[in-house]
Amino acid sequence: MTQELVNGFKEKNVFQPAENYKKEVLVTHSETYRNRQERLSFWEERASTLSWFKKWDTVLEWNPPFAKWFEGGKLNASYNCLDRHLESSRRDKAAIIFEGEHGDSFVLTYSQLHREVCKFANVLKSLGVKKGEVVTIYMPMVPETVIAMLACARIGAPHSVVFGGFSAEALGNRIKDAGSKVLITSDGAFRRGKVLPIKENVCAALKSVQGIEKVVIVKHTETEVEIIENRDFWYHNLMKEASSDCSAEELDAEDRLFILYTSGTTGKPKGVVHTIGGYLTGVATTHQFIFDLKEDDIYWCTADLGWITGHSYLVYGPLANGTTILLFEGTPDYPKKDRFWEIIEKHKVTILYTAPTVIRTFMKWGSSYPEKRDLSSLRLLGTVGEPINPEAWKWFYKHIGNEKCPIVDTWWQTETGMIMLSPLSGVTSLKPGSCAVPFPGVKVEILNRLGQPVKKGEIGFVAITEPWPAMLRTLHRDDNRYQDTYWGKWPGKYFTGDGAKLDEDGYFWIIGRVDDVINVSGHRIGTAELENVLEEHPSVAEAACIGKTHEVKGQAIAAFVILKEGFARSEQLVNELKNYIAVKIGTIARPEDLYLTEELPKTRSGKIIRRILRDIAEGRTIGDTTTLADSAAVETLQKLNVS
């Protein structure tokens, strides 16, 4: 299939799996794309590939919107990621290849990782951590973070990993909401040759948040840090004393594995709850099938451990499958802009899973960087986090994959836990810019407002219309918000917050969020969260934030602010307000643009019309303004200098 382009060239728009690739692929079409009736038996069969202490009684109990998968079954995620591999030749296989920011690297085999996890599980017990108590982890991209996660899983203490780039205040809010008594952190983190003050942020957070009784600090950057007696302990000292003998707790399939906070449409982040049995079944299966996993793969997922991609496709999915993972602490441009390609060459990486924003950055830097490196070990590429524009897809395919690696564009969310839409490499034809079709055993549809499926060629809302094993079970301490946010639009059907189009072949083309959530470089940030922070500043009377199209980040934040009486507009105040958000939430939330204005466009009922703000920020002609309460507001806004 080809499509005539305006410039007269014919451009290839569908990529068929190569014949030699098809022959070697792990799963075939008929094996995996089963019909709906077989959905539950498919998942049951997949669950049975994990190690269970006791088999489940029922596959699914569905009392919408509450699901229980594999009820009655007993297992342990840490056991599945470690112990069961020790009985085979995987015992001495590399589990983690660590690449530090300074080019230092080392390997932890499955048996070494198992030993460290057992020791740290004993450390946690000695600090008084009990089953069911949430442990907060605020760490850089180092093996100890994986060790801490798996140690929590081993003793049945759910972890809450907070992204290391979040500010002290954001960390404090998450600690408070989770009710943690124990926090795992490090002295610092390396970033582009500098040291980030991780422990300093912890100290600042703990000044205003009660509840943390013990802090464990990993020595990583050798930065001098404040130690509070009887509260703060060095990881290496505790590990010296710890026994490496710690059997994995026999936990219920529906016991909590972790909480992960994500932004929503209100100011308060949501604590998404995932449980053990269904989640592990979902992530192990999708990881194995979508990445067409082979025993000798060197698999590199570039996501931070603090996000869901880090949880599902850097830790739990790959380790449950006995994969060798590459864990990289640094950034793509340090010390030089070829760092990723240097790493692929050095460690002979076979699978690279990254984000469209990173690919667009590489495109900007040009193909001379990858061209100077040997990338021939690569055999499969993947993307996640935001829609990938066909141009970036084709650049990735050509310059990184050398036109021989399939690209899997994977669509999913913190809440879905596992990939829901994706091609299966070697099976599904690839269309640049489309995340293809639902994974076997999951039911995703595009619905109209009334909850009816749209026809091919139409746009609608992405909905998940049957429960799936890795689905979130609820929001931490907030069943009502869980119900309202996801299940309130259509009973029994999960509303994702995304809009999409279905093409003539039934492929999904994600357009983006239809709610008040901005996707900056693949990271979700709620407009309400940003506005609440701005409105806490003494100079701000009212604020409205929107996502504007950005060449590299996908979307960038633009803020419109009305100042209180008595505050004069100035460049300095604009910078102060931008920095205020960075300090309160984290640098990822720092607005690209901030406009001081006297009016905001509102409906007669007082709701801000963000569509108009987006038009203004992107310099477009203003669309329909008939619902506007005061048309003078638009005129005032148009006078802003937003070039």
> Between 123 and 162, how does the x/- string for binding to ligand PRX read (CB under 6 A)?
----------------------------------------
According to CB under 6 A, which one of 175, 196, 217, 308 is a site residue for ligand PRX? 308
Whether residue 293 contacts residue 271, with contact meaning beta carbons closer than 8 Å, is answered with no
CB closer to ligand PRX out of 197 and 499? 499
Residue count, binding to ligand PRX (CB under 6 A):
22
Longest dimension (CA), the chain: 73
DSSP string for residues in 566-597: TPPP-HHHHHHHHHHHHHHTBGGG--SEEEEE
Nearest approach in angstroms of CB 386 to ligand PRX is 5
**Residues within window 582-611 making contact with ligand PRX, judged by CB under 6 A:** none
Q: Which of 83, 338, 409, 445 binds ligand PRX (CB under 6 A)?
A: 409
Cβ neighbours around 128 below 10 Å, total: 11
Binding mask 368-397 for ligand PRX (x = CB under 6 A): ----------------xxxx----------
Q: Which is nearer to ligand PRX, 56 or 279 (CB)?
A: 279
- Tell me if residue 24 falls in helix, strand or coil: helix
212 with 179: CB under 8 angstroms?
A: no
* Smallest separation, CB 428 to ligand PRX (Å): 14
Binding mask 519-558 for ligand PRX (x = CB under 6 A): x--x-x----------------------------------
Choose the binding region for ligand PRX from 240-248, 293-301, 491-499, 577-585 (rule: CB under 6 A): 491-499
Q: Are 419 and 439 in contact (CB under 8 A)?
A: yes
Residue 413 in contact with ligand PRX, rule: CB under 6 A: yes
- Element at 262 (helix H, strand E): strand 256-262
* Dihedrals phi, psi of 262, to nearest 5 degrees: -140, 155
The answer to whether 327 and 99 are in contact (CB under 8 A) is yes
Helix locations, 65-215, DSSP H: 77-81, 110-126, 143-155, 168-178, 198-208
CA torsion sign for 461, 466, 468, 473 is: positive
Stretch that binds ligand PRX, among 5-13, 65-73, 404-412, 631-639 (CB under 6 A): 404-412
Stretch in the footprint of ligand PRX (CB under 6 A) among 70-78, 243-251, 406-414, 562-570: 406-414
Q: Which amino acid is at 46?
A: R
281/519 with CB nearer ligand PRX: 519
Position 471 contacts ligand PRX (CB under 6 A):
no
In this chain, which of 270, 513, 553, 602 binds ligand PRX, going by CB under 6 A? Answer: 513
- Whose Cβ is closer to ligand PRX: residue 385's or residue 467's? 385
Least distance from ligand PRX to the Cβ atom of residue 515, Å: 9
**Whole-angstrom Cα distance, residue 599 to residue 562?**
7
Looking only at the bridges linking them, the beta strands covering 58-63 and 66-71 are: antiparallel
Of residues 493-512, those binding ligand PRX (CB under 6 A)? 496-498, 510
Cis status, amide bond into 491, omega within 30 of 0: no
**Interacting positions 205-264 with ligand PRX (CB under 6 A):** 262
Q: Which residues pair with 313 in a beta bridge?
A: none
Q: Which element (helix H / strand E) includes 318?
A: helix 317-320
Closest separation in Å from C-beta 355 to ligand PRX: 8
Q: Which is nearer to ligand PRX, 238 or 272 (by Cβ)?
A: 272
Residue of this chain nearest to ligand PRX (CB atom): 414
**Separation between Cα atoms, residue 258 and residue 276, nearest integer Å:** 8
Instruction: Tell me the C-alpha distance between 303 and 348, whole Å.
Output: 19
Chain positions contacting ligand PRX, by CB under 6 A? 262, 308-309, 384-387, 409-414, 435, 496-498, 510, 513, 519, 522, 524
